[in-house]
Amino acid sequence: MPDIGMMELLVIGIVALIVVGPKDLPKMFRTFGQVTGRIRGMAKDFSRAMDEAAGETGMKDLGKDLRAMANPKKMGMDAVNKAFDGIEKDIDPTQFEEGSETRAMAEKRLADSKAAREQADALRKAREDDIRNAKLAAVTPGDASASATPVPAATADPVAAEPAPEAAAEPRTGTDQG
């Protein structure tokens, strides 16, 4: 779409006034508006038809799949889950002889892995509960029973918390004294 400024519109209007004349100018602008409306309608119909054709062939689903695969957050979580699944499969103590040191080490590692996973799940659940309680408290600030309910706090957070940003100084308006 060409970028037409106010001066260009003024020049076009003056030329149209001189060429067409003041008598036929409103009729010409009305016709121009109708033609422009028809062209926009045809473009909208064409666009709608293309969208329907893409929907019938499954292109929209393909686009959603591509966006889901390109999501870096999901890719990172998939890799982490895949790594943890591999660890638990690798630590199968039943593949070693009964009473061997290797089996004892594998059993210990499996127990440690399960404990770590349970702790991570408990922390995640506690964090979700904290968020849910905060949302409920924000929705019903006058409800004393919601704030009086004790909320279990997470003991150790595997993700380091970001430091809180410092409060910015109030902007100076020029009327400040000092």
pLDDT digits (tens, 9 = 90+) for 98-110: 888 888 888 888 8
CA distance 100 to 109: 14
Q: How does 6-29 read in b/e, with b if 16+ C-beta sit within 10 Å?
A: eeeeeeeeeeeeeeeeeeeeeeee
Predicted confidence at residue 38, as pLDDT, reads 97
Residue 163 has pLDDT above 70, yes or no: no
What is the residue-averaged pLDDT of the chain?
Answer: 77
Burial of 70 (0-12, 13-18, 19+ CB in 10 A): exposed
Is there a contact between 106 and 90 (Cβ–Cβ < 8 Å)?
no
Per DSSP, helices labelled H in the chain are 6-20, 25-57, 59-69, 72-90, 101-139, 144-148
Lowest mean pLDDT among 37-51, 87-101, 117-131: 87-101
Region 47-63 average pLDDT: 83
